[in-house]
């Protein structure tokens, strides 16, 4: 049933927290006895940290991973009533001057280079304490983490870790979703080689796809993100995860076009014969990607209606000529993302990846969380 609020919104985003939890549970069982964390950066990939984190914590998740300190603080707040003892990692390193905030809020910084290791060591020394951290070793991404030279230096100077309680050594995979790409195995061997040269601590290796490469990729802690939210971690196989979001919107207006005419900005779509064009109150400002213009499909009663013309800030136009007026009429709810149009399918049509579709999900939708 639709409430007043759902009627007021241009669209309704339904997030199935039960499916998120079921996805995490499936991955937890797959990696056991290793631990399974949950990557909840970018507001839990767009689904909402305030709801996703407590649901996963209630299911037993005790490690949460974000990209930035600000996000870590939001996760800590969401955890407070449910699992205040859970660990939170912030992947983006130590913003200078904010070291005290990591301690006060019990956030584990992921130290990405020797400068950050030195800063954390100095901070620990100044406090006269041993402070926990995660240290990132770059095994092939060439973005964050200790590169080969820094690794050599650190391995030769174990005293640089004095005052640091290394909770995990971690690395991140570049090509884990390409199951025939040898790079994943090469990164695993480089990681093993690095671990052998460093003081003993737990290790964290696999993202969602990495988990599906098998036990010897699980190490002590897995870090799945996208699979929790229903993106297929095994693109060459049917999706083993449950869909977690559906997006429905109302048809605002249906136009009968009985003469040749154009539709929308740039007059980009030309109607030649009789046609019916329906308009939906969702646009690129809602994260409905503009690249779907003239390419994507919206579903009505299981029938695909093509997006025609340009997606604008607040509106999408679709061709509903193939549907009877009793079906495609103003006020009618239609499916933008859902069982007929899973996130990965929308992403393919848009020429992107499910991650971008999810993390773009707009703020104007009326959100409904089911369990
Ligand atoms: C360091 C790190 N670990 C884990 C993940 C989760 O990856 P995925 O969403 O592919 O499971 C990410 C996401 O980008 C990441 O940056």
10 Cβ inside 6 Å of ligand 1:
no
Minimal-distance CA residue to ligand 1 atom 1: 172
The C-alpha atoms of residue 320 and residue 199 are separated, in whole angstroms, by 64
| pLDDT score for 141 | 96
| pLDDT score for 44 | 98
Cβ contact 219:34 at 8 Å = yes
Of 293, 259, 226, 205, the C-alpha closest to 38 is 226
Minimal-distance CA residue to ligand 1 atom 6: 225
| pLDDT score for 73 | 97
Helix (H, G, I), strand (E, B) or coil at 284: helix
Neighbours of 128 (CB within 10 A): 7
Residue 202 CA to its chain's centroid (Å): 25
Record the tokens describing residue 253, joined without a space.
């207006």
Q: For residue 250, report the phi and psi dihedrals to the nearest 5 degrees.
A: -95, 145
| pLDDT score for 159 | 97
Minimal-distance CA residue to ligand 1 atom 2: 172
Q: Which atom, in ligand 1's list, is nearest to the CA of 355? A: 9
| pLDDT score for 280 | 96
The C-alpha atoms of residue 47 and residue 181 are separated, in whole angstroms, by 31
136 Cβ inside 6 Å of ligand 1:
no
Pick the CATH number of 17-229 from 3.40.50.1400, 3.30.1320.10, 3.20.20.10, 3.90.650.10: 3.20.20.10
CA of 152 to the centre of ligand 1 (A): 26
Mutate to test the pocket of ligand 1, among 140, 145, 223 (most ligand atoms within 8 A of CB): 223
Mind listing the pLDDT tens digit for each residue in 21-69? 999 999 999 999 999 999 999 999 999 999 999 999 999 999 999 999 9
Q: Which atom, in ligand 1's list, is nearest to the CA of 224? A: 11
Residue 3 pLDDT exceeds 80? no
Q: For residue 363, report the phi and psi dihedrals to the nearest 5 degrees.
A: -90, -10
Record the tokens describing residue 39, joined without a space.
């990557």
- Summarize the confidence of residues 96-125 as an average pLDDT: 97
Residue 8 pLDDT exceeds 90? no
Of 323, 313, 272, 273, the C-alpha closest to 293 is 313
Outline where DSSP puts E strands in the chain.
11-16, 35-36, 38-39, 63-66, 87-90, 107-111, 131-136, 164-170, 202-204, 221-222, 245-257, 261-263, 269-271, 275-280, 297-300, 303-306, 316-319, 333-337, 366-370
Q: Match 């241009």 to its residue by tokens.
A: 10
Confidence band, pLDDT 50/70/90 cuts, at residue 10: confident
Active-site annotation holds for 41: yes
- CATH superfamily of the 245-341 domain: Lyase, Ornithine Decarboxylase; Chain A, domain 1 (2.40.37.10)
Domain boundaries, the chain: 17-229, 245-341
Find the distance separating the first CA and the last CA of the chain, reported in whole Å.
17
| pLDDT score for 257 | 94
164 Cβ inside 6 Å of ligand 1:
no
Mind listing the pLDDT tens digit for each residue in 248-288? 999 999 999 999 999 999 999 999 989 999 999 999 999 99
Q: Which atom, in ligand 1's list, is nearest to the CA of 91? A: 1
The C-alpha atoms of residue 176 and residue 231 are separated, in whole angstroms, by 14
| pLDDT score for 5 | 65
| pLDDT score for 4 | 63
The C-alpha atoms of residue 40 and residue 227 are separated, in whole angstroms, by 11
Q: Give the DSSP per-residue string, 1-58.
A: ---HHHHHSSEEEEEEHHHHHHHHHHHHHHHTTSEE-EE-HHHHHTT-HHHHHHHHHH
| pLDDT score for 6 | 66
Mind listing the pLDDT tens digit for each residue in 339-356? 999 999 999 999 999 999
6 Cβ inside 6 Å of ligand 1:
no
The reply to whether 245-341 shares the fold of 17-229 is no
pTM as predicted: 0.96
Residue 2 pLDDT exceeds 60? no
Record the tokens describing residue 125, joined without a space.
């020394």
* Active-site annotation holder among 98, 265, 355, 369: 265
Higher-pLDDT residue of 9 and 123 is: 123
CA distances from 242 to 16, 25, 148, 340, 360 (A): 9, 11, 39, 14, 20
28 Cβ inside 6 Å of ligand 1:
no
Mind listing the pLDDT tens digit for each residue in 286-339? 999 999 999 999 999 989 999 999 999 999 999 999 999 999 999 999 999 999
Q: Which atom, in ligand 1's list, is nearest to the CA of 41? A: 13
CA of 354 to the centre of ligand 1 (A): 13
Minimal-distance CA residue to ligand 1 atom 13: 225
CA of 310 to the centre of ligand 1 (A): 32
Q: Which atom, in ligand 1's list, is nearest to the CA of 227? A: 11
Mind listing the pLDDT tens digit for each residue in 160-207? 999 999 999 999 999 999 999 999 999 999 999 999 999 999 999 999
172 Cβ inside 6 Å of ligand 1:
yes
CA of 49 to the centre of ligand 1 (A): 16
- Summarize the confidence of residues 227-256 as an average pLDDT: 97
163 Cβ inside 6 Å of ligand 1:
no
Residue 224 pLDDT exceeds 90? yes
Confidence band, pLDDT 50/70/90 cuts, at residue 91: very high
Active-site annotation holds for 265: yes
């Amino acid at each position: 049933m639709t409430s007043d609020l759902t009627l007021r919104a241009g669209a309704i985003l339904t997030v199935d927290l039960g499916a998120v939890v079921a996805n995490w549970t499936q991955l937890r069982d797959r990696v056991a006895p290793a631990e399974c964390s949950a990557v909840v950066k970018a507001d839990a990939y767009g689904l909402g940290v305030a709801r996703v984190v407590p649901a996963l914590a209630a299911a037993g998740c005790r490690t949460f991973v974000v990209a930035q300190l600000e996000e870590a603080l939001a996760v800590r707040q969401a955890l407070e009533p449910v699992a205040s003892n859970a660990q939170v990692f912030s992947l983006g390193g130590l913003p200078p001057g904010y070291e005290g905030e990591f301690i006060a809020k019990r956030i584990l910084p992921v130290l990405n280079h020797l400068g950050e290791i030195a800063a954390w060591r100095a901070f620990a020394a100044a406090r006269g304490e041993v402070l926990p951290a995660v240290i990132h070793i770059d095994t092939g991404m060439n973005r964050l983490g200790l590169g080969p030279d820094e690794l050599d230096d650190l391995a030769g100077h174990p005293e640089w870790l004095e005052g640091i309680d290394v909770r995990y050594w971690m690395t991140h995979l570049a090509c884990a979703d390409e199951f025939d790409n040898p790079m994943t195995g090469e990164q695993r061997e480089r990681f093993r080689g690095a671990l052998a040269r460093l003081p003993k601590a737990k290790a964290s290796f696999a993202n969602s796809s990495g988990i599906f490469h098998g036990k010897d990729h699980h190490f002590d802690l897995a870090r799945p993100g996208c699979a929790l939210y229903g993106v297929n971690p095994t693109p060459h196989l049917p999706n083993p995860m449950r869909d977690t979001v559906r997006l429905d919107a109302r048809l605002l207006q249906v136009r009968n076009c009985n003469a040749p005419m154009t539709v929308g900005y740039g007059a980009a779509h030309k109607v030649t014969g009789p046609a019916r064009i329906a308009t939906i109150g969702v646009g690129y400002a809602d994260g409905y990607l503009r690249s779907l213009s003239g390419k994507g499909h919206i579903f009505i009663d299981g029938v695909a209606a093509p997006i025609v013309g340009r997606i604008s800030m607040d509106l999408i136009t679709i061709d509903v000529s193939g549907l009877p007026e009793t079906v495609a009429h103003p006020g009618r709810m239609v499916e933008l993302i859902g069982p007929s149009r899973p996130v990965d399918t929308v992403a393919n049509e848009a020429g992107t990846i499910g991650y971008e579709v999810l993390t773009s999900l707009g703020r104007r939708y009326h959100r409904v969380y089911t369990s």
